[in-house]
């Protein structure tokens, strides 16, 4: 990845960690998890702490710097970037917790590495001020190396009946669980992002102390631009930059391959073929333009919030649109490079096949799936919105 003159210390640290992560990418994929020491190294470098308030010992970094770190790590290995993304976006929740609960979770004797799942497939009921929770959640990325879990539950009464708001919508909260409270169920048998270990997790009648939960609809209890930035609007760009990092790795891999490979039935190397030249140019344009569009859109909203102004629905729409476009453009770039490489790309020894599989798992995520184009286009044209913004 290209260094920038004004990059923060954590971006430099991520770049320094990248070679050792890349060297073990195949090992991680075969194990279907990252090595504990790799996650520890990222935490020790402050990469998880970027999303935690300074009052709780974090770095409270600029969102674009968090994205650059994710892009660097994803360049080395998509699964490592994906796990870090989940740890960071789960850590954003620290600003929504009651202060004592936040200190309990984020200022313990070991560095906090929180995995998170947002789909509400559990239930919680209040008992003597605490919450008793049971549930099972899919896609708990990085759970093997997490020491906390953030999940989402529907609230019920003692008879199991759902609690509802006055408008009839269900009441939901997000509780935090200690590692000993959740079980990991080995379910992650997939085509890409294999090393993310995004297994199911389960809790059974787990007791969550009073206050160790939050609501995404509540205002942050910690001030600062990072936490006044709409938390849901942090999800699409941090996911999309994983795809951008993968696409950049694919481009650099192809540039190296094109020098060495001489296709069958010809005498000149791949780099001298017109079709390859067109494909590499298109891929580079897709990666660079979508990256610039994504970072510019995030920075525009950041500066608005920094000046004390609220995030408008249109600003949030632009964030989601830019992220959807970045993920889709990155996947298209990888497709171009994978196809241009010919049969070489299908070999286990060629990283292009892993980049191809990984990027197409990233684009399946709800926050960057191609359906976002329709939703954001409908919002622009009609003012109507379905789902999250």
Per-residue pLDDT of 357-368, as tens digits, reads 999 999 999 999
Residue 215, token pair as written in the block: 């609501």
Within 261-370, residue ranges assigned H as helices are: 274-306, 313-340, 351-362
Neighbours of 387 (CB within 10 A): 8
Q: Give residue 205's Cα distance to chain centre.
A: 29
Per-residue pLDDT at 4:
60
Mean pLDDT along residues 78-102: 97
Contacts of 280-283 with CB under 8 Å at 24 or more apart are 280/251, 280/254, 280/255, 280/336, 280/337, 280/340, 282/333, 282/336, 283/247, 283/250, 283/251, 283/254, 283/332, 283/333, 283/334, 283/336, 283/337
Residue 196 in 3-state DSSP? helix
First to last CA, the chain: 31
Q: How much is the mean pLDDT over the chain?
A: 96
> 3-12 pLDDT, tens per residue?
565 789 999 9
Q: Give the contacts of 6 (CB within 8 A, at least 6 positions apart).
A: none
Q: Give residue 381's Cα distance to chain centre.
A: 29
Per-residue pLDDT at 373:
95
Per-residue pLDDT at 55:
96
Q: Partners of 137 in the beta sheet?
A: 201
CA distance readout (Å), 299 to 50, 95, 322, 329: 17, 21, 12, 20
CA-CA distance, 144 to 140, in Å (whole number)?
Answer: 9
Residue 122, token pair as written in the block: 């559990």
> 246-256 pLDDT, tens per residue?
999 999 999 99
CA-CA distance, 370 to 360, in Å (whole number)?
Answer: 11
Query: Which of these, 190, 184, 186, lies nearest to 147 by C-alpha position?
Result: 184
Q: What is the pTM of this model?
A: 0.96
Specify the DSSP class assigned to residue 310.
Answer: P
Q: What are the b/e assignments for 161-174, b being 16+ CB within 10 Å?
A: eeeeeeeeeeebbb
Residue position matching structure tokens 């699409």:
236
Domains of the chain: 9-96 (1.10.540.10), 115-214 (2.40.110.10), 229-382 (1.20.140.10)
Per-residue pLDDT at 2:
54
Per-residue pLDDT at 108:
85
Q: Give the contacts of 230 (CB within 8 A, at least 6 positions apart).
A: 311, 316
Residue 117, token pair as written in the block: 């799942």
Per-residue pLDDT at 355:
98
> 303-328 pLDDT, tens per residue?
999 999 999 999 999 999 999 999 99
Query: Which of these, 252, 337, 253, 237, lies nearest to 290 by C-alpha position?
Result: 237
């Amino acid at each position: 990845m290209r260094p920038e003159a004004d990059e923060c210390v954590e971006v430099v640290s991520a770049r320094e960690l990248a070679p050792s992560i890349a060297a073990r990418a195949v090992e991680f994929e075969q194990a279907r998890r990252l090595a504990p020491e790799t996650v520890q190294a990222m935490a020790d470098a402050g990469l998880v702490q970027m999303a935690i308030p300074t009052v709780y010992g974090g770095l409270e970094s600029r969102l674009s710097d968090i994205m650059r770190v994710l892009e660097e790590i994803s360049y080395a290995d998509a699964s490592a970037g994906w796990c870090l993304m989940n740890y960071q976006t789960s850590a954003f929740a620290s600003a929504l917790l009651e202060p004592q609960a936040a200190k309990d979770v984020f200022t313990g004797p070991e560095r906090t590495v929180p995995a998170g799942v947002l789909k509400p497939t559990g239930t919680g009921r209040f008992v003597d001020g605490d919450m008793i929770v049971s549930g099972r959640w899919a896609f708990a990325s990085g759970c093997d190396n997490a020491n906390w879990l953030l999940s989402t539950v529907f609230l019920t009464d003692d008879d199991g009946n759902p609690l509802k708001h006055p408008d009839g919508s269900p009441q939901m909260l997000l509780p935090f669980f200690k590692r000993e409270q959740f079980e990991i169920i080995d379910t992650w048998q997939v085509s890409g992002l294999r090393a993310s270990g995004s297994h199911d997790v389960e809790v059974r009648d787990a007791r969550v102390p009073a206050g160790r939960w939050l609501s995404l609809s509540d205002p942050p209890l910690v001030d600062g631009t990072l936490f006044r930035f709409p938390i849901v609007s942090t999800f699409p760009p941090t996911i999309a930059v994983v795809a951008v990092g993968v696409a950049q790795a694919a481009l650099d891999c192809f540039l190296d391959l094109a020098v060495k490979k001489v296709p069958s039935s010809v005498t000149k190397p791949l780099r001298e073929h017109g079709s390859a030249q067109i494909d590499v140019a298109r891929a580079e344009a897709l990666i660079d333009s979508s990256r610039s569009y994504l970072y510019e859109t995030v920075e525009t909203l950041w500066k608005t919030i920094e000046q004390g102004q609220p995030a408008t629905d249109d600003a949030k729409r632009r964030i989601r649109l830019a992220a959807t476009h970045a993920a889709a453009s990155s996947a298209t770039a990888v497709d171009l490079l994978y196809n241009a490489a010919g049969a070489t790309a299908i070999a286990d020894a060629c990283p292009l096949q892993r980049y191809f599989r990984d990027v197409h798992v990233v684009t399946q995520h709800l926050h960057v799936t191609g359906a976002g184009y329709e939703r954001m286009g409908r919002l622009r044209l009609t003012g109507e919105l379905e789902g999250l913004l």
